[in-house]
Amino acid sequence: MSKNTPNRRRAALTTGALATAAVAALALSPVAAFAATPANVAQNGGAARSIDDSTQLLLDSVEAGPAKNVILLIGDGMGDSEITSARNYAYGAGGSLPGIDALPLTGQYTTYSVYKDGANKGKPDYVPDSAATGSAWATGTKTYDNAISVDVDGVPQDTLIEIAKANGKKTGNVSTAELQDATPAVQAAHVAARSCYGPDSVTQCGADALDQGGLGSISEQIIGTRADLTLGGGATSFGQTARAGQWQGDTLFAQAQDRGYQVVRDAAGLDGLTAADQTQPVLGTFTDGNFPTRYAATTATVGGADLAPQTCQPNPARLSTGLSLQSLTEKSIDLLDTGDQGFFLQVEGASIDKRDHSADACGQIGEVLDLDEAVQSALAFAEADGNTMVIVTADHAHTSQIVDSTPPATLSTALTTVDGTTMKIAYGTAAAGGSQQHTGTQLRVAGYGPGAANVVGLIDQTDNFFTIVNALQLDRDLDGLSADATISAPTEVAPGSEFTISTAGLAGDRQVTGTLDVDGTTTDLGIADVVDGVATYTVTAPTEPGSYTITLTGTQSGTTLSATVAVVVGAVTPAPTTPPAAAPADGASAGGAGTAGSGRGPLAFTGSDALPALLLALMLAGTGAALVLRRRHRATSAQDGVQL
């Protein structure tokens, strides 16, 4: 899945230097300054938002990359109409959303998807869904509606989280939806149909199911992608039981724990976390499905805007403040901002779209306000950090419109805003009880921080991918990041003794598979997670003396590493050791000279250097011998190994 970074079609804007205090004031003013429409809007200049010359302020906001961190915040279904109605309701027509409206660099982007097949294959499909749009910014590749990070031919495309992780960045994925929903899924899975939620989605998954030889359901792939933290809803799917693979018969929650995850289910568990990394990643699922919304529903009806205007009411089912999108964002930043490597974090406010589908004005407005609070927290961190790019945008536009008169035949509702006047919102793409449709208009994209000027003007949704990759200076050649990997194993072990085999330098891989070759017979050793480039198997030697070859293969890169271990009576099995460091990027390739130990020390091979040892092992291996394996793998540190 590796690719070469293409040249940008337009030059990056690089004017200016560090953001000034004026930019900080623009981005981070207190909510009170945004709270209402000015009293003098009816006077000349009273409604002006930028009455003075803002040229210098704009120039000062343009800062060249690179950036250490990127925070991408997505409002699902948040078109200009959804932003405007939320602003009108909560801050007034002349007010501003203190987060979303504060980013100083603003552009628009196109969101069309493409047709999957037929005469129009690869041509624009003007109204997209969340799967195609999310895949566009996550991978840089346009695809068809329903696809999760695969192209029109079904080929998996590397995602921002996968690429950032391979480059040593910490990664996070946060949503108020089920984690299997399209927007969080596009960063962590590759399936032909977005409805392939869990192992029980047999029909929906089809060839993508594990038992059909595929990569598995979205939930199973989320575990395998191994972002440092993943927070949202969707516990139901993780409670399903694996139908195939080495965790067959276990729930996905049990599998996650077995692979080293910290699994949290409530605010107290989240609050108690002090670390989230590859050794102990976090899987937090706080609802069975999607999060409850901020406001109770106000479903529109035919002629509804002629009724008495309503005021949005709190939803009694809303989660505690500790599980608000703002709190999840702040906790994620706290857990990810731990070192010099930097991080990539995606945050989604999911139910703007879902409530728009249901013609629920208060529901969608509340979700915009929730996202806005998360944006405020992201901006506050970025301003203090000085090396973080923040991008705020949406996946696709939606139905709701602010109208002057009550439409005679379509759904509408009326709300009383903070201005004390009535705002009428109409929904006209489905009848009562139906699902309102997405629309195909371009969307706002806004940015702050190093490299954010690349959102200015008219761009495409896929440009977000390249803006982020370039800002973080990510190497997209994931196969190359694993090319110099090494394998380490003892040359001799005693019969029945326990020993470790380790690989290092597999940065471009997320898992390895292992096989044991004995006299031409191959035994599957299962998979092990790659943790910070390292994968370790702990095995028990057979009691039958002989020579055995173990081959480990990077699941994503295909990099193959082999080592031969002799079972010798009287051998002194070395204590488990730290695996060898990978060769430097400018050093010998996998096909170059390897390093072999002597006597009973570790034996290391890189790439094809192991071929002579493999041939020797096949000639010398005794019949009927096999390694004693435990079915399960548990991801731990390099020193502790992965238990088999």
* Residue-wise DSSP of 232-255: EE-HHHHTSBP-SSTTTTSBHHHH
Strands 411-416 and 401-403: unpaired
pLDDT on residue 595: 28
Q: Are 352 and 228 within one domain?
A: yes
> Considering the domain boundaries, does residue 309 fall inside one?
no
Starting from the edge strand earliest in sequence, which strands make up the sheet with 492-493, in order? 492-493, 560-567, 546-554, 511-518, 521-529
Q: Are 526 and 581 within one domain?
A: yes
Average pLDDT over residues 391-408: 97
Percent of the chain with pLDDT over 90: 75
Q: Are 380 and 518 within one domain?
A: no
Q: Are 449 and 497 within one domain?
A: no
User: Percent helix, strand and coil across the chain, each rounded to 5?
Assistant: 25, 25, 50
> Considering the domain boundaries, does residue 268 fall inside one?
yes
Strands 560-567 and 492-493: parallel
Cβ-based neighbours of 569, under 8 Å, separated by 6 or more: 494, 495, 545
> Considering the domain boundaries, does residue 302 fall inside one?
no
> Considering the domain boundaries, does residue 25 fall inside one?
yes
Note whether 167 and 481 are within 8 A (CB).
yes
The C-alpha atoms of residue 108 and residue 458 are separated, in whole angstroms, by: 5
Which of 454, 472, 490 is the last residue in one of the domains?
472
The C-alpha atoms of residue 486 and residue 559 are separated, in whole angstroms, by: 10
Strands 422-427 and 602-605: unpaired
pLDDT in tens, 521-561: 888 889 999 999 999 998 888 888 999 899 999 999 999 99
Which of 451, 472, 493 is the last residue in one of the domains?
472
Average pLDDT over residues 163-175: 98
Strands 343-349 and 69-75: parallel
> Considering the domain boundaries, does residue 3 fall inside one?
no
The C-alpha atoms of residue 551 and residue 564 are separated, in whole angstroms, by: 9
Percent of the chain with pLDDT over 70: 84
> Considering the domain boundaries, does residue 51 fall inside one?
yes
pLDDT on residue 460: 98
Q: Are 49 and 168 within one domain?
A: yes
Task: List, in sequence order, every beta strand (DSSP E) within 269-363.
Answer: 282-285, 301-302, 343-349
More confident residue, 61 or 608: 61
Q: Are 371 and 520 within one domain?
A: no
Question: Residue 245 class from Cβ within 10 Å (0-12 exposed, 13-18 middle, 19+ buried)?
Answer: middle
Tokens of 356: 């728009």
- In three-state secondary structure terms, 454 is helix
pLDDT at 609 over 80: no
> Considering the domain boundaries, does residue 8 fall inside one?
no
Residue with the two structure tokens 């139910």: 351
Residue 404 identity: D
Strands 521-529 and 511-518: antiparallel
* Preceding omega of 542 cis (within 30 degrees of 0): no
Average pLDDT, the chain: 86
Quick one: which H or E segment has residue 7? none
pLDDT in tens, 423-468: 999 999 999 999 999 999 999 999 999 999 999 999 999 999 999 9
Q: Are 212 and 249 within one domain?
A: yes
The number of residues making up the chain comes to 644
Q: Could you list the residue range(s) of the whole structural domain that residue 45 is in?
A: 21-57+67-293+318-395+437-472
pLDDT on residue 579: 54
Q: Is 386 left (phi over 0), alpha (psi -120 to 50) or beta?
A: left
> How many Cβ atoms are within 10 Å of 44's Cβ, its own excluded?
7
pLDDT in tens, 208-244: 999 999 999 999 999 999 999 999 999 999 999 999 9
CA quadruple 378, 298, 78, 305: dihedral, nearest 10: -130
pLDDT at 487 over 50: yes
Task: Kindly report the backbone phi and psi dihedral angles of residue 536, in degrees, each rounded to the nearest multiple of 5, phi listed first.
Answer: -135, 130
More confident residue, 634 or 524: 524
Give catalytic residues, as residue numbers: 130
CA 640 distance to own-chain centroid = 28
pLDDT in tens, 179-188: 999 999 999 9
Q: Are 86 and 220 within one domain?
A: yes
Please, how many CA atoms are within 13 Å of residue 424, restricted to the half-sphere of its CB? 19
Q: Are 180 and 126 within one domain?
A: yes
Note whether 182 and 129 are within 8 A (CB).
yes
Tokens of 299: 């479903």
> Considering the domain boundaries, does residue 12 fall inside one?
no
Note whether 465 and 139 are within 8 A (CB).
yes
pLDDT at 643 over 70: no
CATH for 346: 3.40.720.10
Task: Kindly report the backbone phi and psi dihedral angles of residue 365, in degrees, each rounded to the nearest multiple of 5, phi listed first.
Answer: -65, -45
pLDDT on residue 574: 73
Task: Kindly report the backbone phi and psi dihedral angles of residue 580, in degrees, each rounded to the nearest multiple of 5, phi listed first.
Answer: -70, 150
Q: Are 558 and 447 within one domain?
A: no
CATH for 551: 2.60.40.1930
pLDDT in tens, 102-149: 999 999 999 999 999 999 999 999 999 999 999 999 999 999 999 999
The tally of domains found in the chain comes to 2
pLDDT in tens, 360-383: 999 999 999 999 999 999 999 999
Q: Are 485 and 612 within one domain?
A: yes
Q: Are 172 and 48 within one domain?
A: yes
pLDDT on residue 552: 96
Tokens of 626: 């096999």
Starting from the edge strand earliest in sequence, which strands make up the sheet with 343-349, in order? 262-264, 282-285, 229-233, 170-178, 343-349, 69-75, 388-394, 443-448, 105-110, 457-460
pLDDT on residue 24: 36
Which of 448, 472, 496 is the last residue in one of the domains?
472
More confident residue, 350 or 609: 350
The C-alpha atoms of residue 555 and residue 199 are separated, in whole angstroms, by: 21
Q: What residues does 615 pair with on adjacent strands?
A: none
pLDDT on residue 27: 34
Least confident span in 7-11, 183-187, 267-271, 513-517: 7-11
The C-alpha atoms of residue 355 and residue 394 are separated, in whole angstroms, by: 15
Indicate the pLDDT class of residue 630, thresholds 50, 70 and 90.
Answer: very low
Tokens of 565: 């271990």
Note whether 388 and 380 are within 8 A (CB).
no
Note whether 179 and 163 are within 8 A (CB).
no
Indicate the pLDDT class of residue 43, thresholds 50, 70 and 90.
Answer: very high
